[in-house]
Structure 1
Amino acid sequence: MNPLQDFELNEISEQPGNRPQFEINDMNSLNWAFRKIAALKSQEKEIKALAATEKQRIEEWESKELKPIEENLAFFENLVGVYHTKQLQEDPKAKTLSTPYGKSKSRAIKEQPKAVDQDQLLEHVKKAGLNELIKEDIKWGDFKKSLSIKEIDGKKVVIDENGQAVPGVEVEPASINFKVEV
């Protein structure tokens, strides 16, 4: 932030409720408002940059502190798993091992299919005639370009390139958006 922006911020440092009412009524007052916006955006950018730096430092510290804990957790959970496996070999009904400080629960998962190549899978499903399993979707961006708006009987209607009214599509009224850039 430069000294001019600092001056602009000092000029508006009063609380919003205590500020005198201001109205933009000419190019000079518009320029004044843009200077204030530029100074505020500069201050906002500085605060966000500082916060991002601090967040990164805190995340690095957190990772460094958690790494040995995560390694120890993995080590002990592996020991529990090895012990539970031995217990299951001796007694297949020992699905849960319980102590006052925790439980180890085993759960058998049956073999099951896993999709690894979507293109090959889609081709197979099409060849097998299982079209009801294929999801259909509209390329809205491309379709929207081919549509037009016509007024029919005093009502605006969306028409496709064949001149047919398109059900399921409405006319969104025009509007003006304002974006302030400095």
Structure 2
Amino acid sequence: MNSLQQIELAEVDALQAEEQQFEIIDMNGLNWAFRKISALRAQEKEITMLANVEQERIMEWKQKELNPIHNSITFFESHIQRYHAEQLAADPKQKTISTPYGKSKTRKSSEAPEQQDKEQLLQYAIENELDDCIKTEIRWGELKKKFRIEKIGEEKVIVDEDGQIVPGVAIKPESISYSVEV
């Protein structure tokens, strides 16, 4: 942020402190407001950059501190799993081992199909007419190009290319949106 922008920010603070009535009445006022927004955006960018640098430093520190902890947890979990596997081999009914400080549980899962190639599966489902397994969705961007608005009597309706009224579609009223670019 340069010194001119700092002056602009001081004026903004003074204006807000006095709670003056502000109104743009000419091009000079409009230009003044744009300068104020530019200075505020520069300040916002500066703060965001500083925060991002600090967040990166904190995340690096956090990762450095947590790595040995995660390694130790993994070490102990692998030993617990090995011990439990030995106990399970000796007694297949011992699916849970409990102590005052924690539990080790096992859960057996059966063989199950696993999806590998979506395109092949889709083709298979189409060829074998498994329609209840196929999800269809409307591509709104393409569909709305096929519609037009027509006035029937006093009412506006949406019709398709054949002139049929389309159910499930409403007319969004015309509006003007404003944006400020600095």
Q: TM-score, normalised by structure 1?
A: 0.95
- C-alpha separation in 1, matches of 2:27 and 2:15: 25
Match of residue 76 from structure 2: 76
**Cα deviation code 1:100-133 (max 9, x no counterpart):** 1111011111111111101111111112121121
Percent identity between matched residues is 52
Structure 1 residue 15 displacement after superposition: 7.8
Structure 1 residue 61 displacement after superposition: 1.1
Asked if 1:119 is matched to 2:119, the reply is yes
Asked if 1:177 is matched to 2:177, the reply is yes
Q: What are the ranges of 5 or more consecutive residues in structure 2 without an aligned counterpart? A: none
- C-alpha separation in 1, matches of 2:111 and 2:91: 22
Structure 1 residue 80 displacement after superposition: 0.3
**Cα deviation code 1:74-116 (max 9, x no counterpart):** 1110100000000111111111111111110111111111111
**Cα deviation code 1:6-64 (max 9, x no counterpart):** 10001122484642111111111111111111110110011011111111111111111
Root-mean-square deviation (CA, aligned residues, Å) is 1.3
Which moved further from structure 2: 60-69 or 39-48? 60-69
Match of residue 106 from structure 2: 106
Match of residue 142 from structure 1: 142
Secondary structure of the residue aligned to 2:21 is coil
Asked if 1:64 is matched to 2:82, the reply is no
Match of residue 92 from structure 2: 92
- C-alpha separation in 2, matches of 1:178 and 1:168: 29
- C-alpha separation in 1, matches of 2:128 and 2:121: 11
Partner AA of 1:128 in structure 2: N
Match of residue 6 from structure 1: 6
Match of residue 33 from structure 1: 33
- C-alpha separation in 2, matches of 1:156 and 1:49: 51
Alignment size in residue pairs: 182
Runs of 4+ in 1 over 4 A off after TM superposition: none
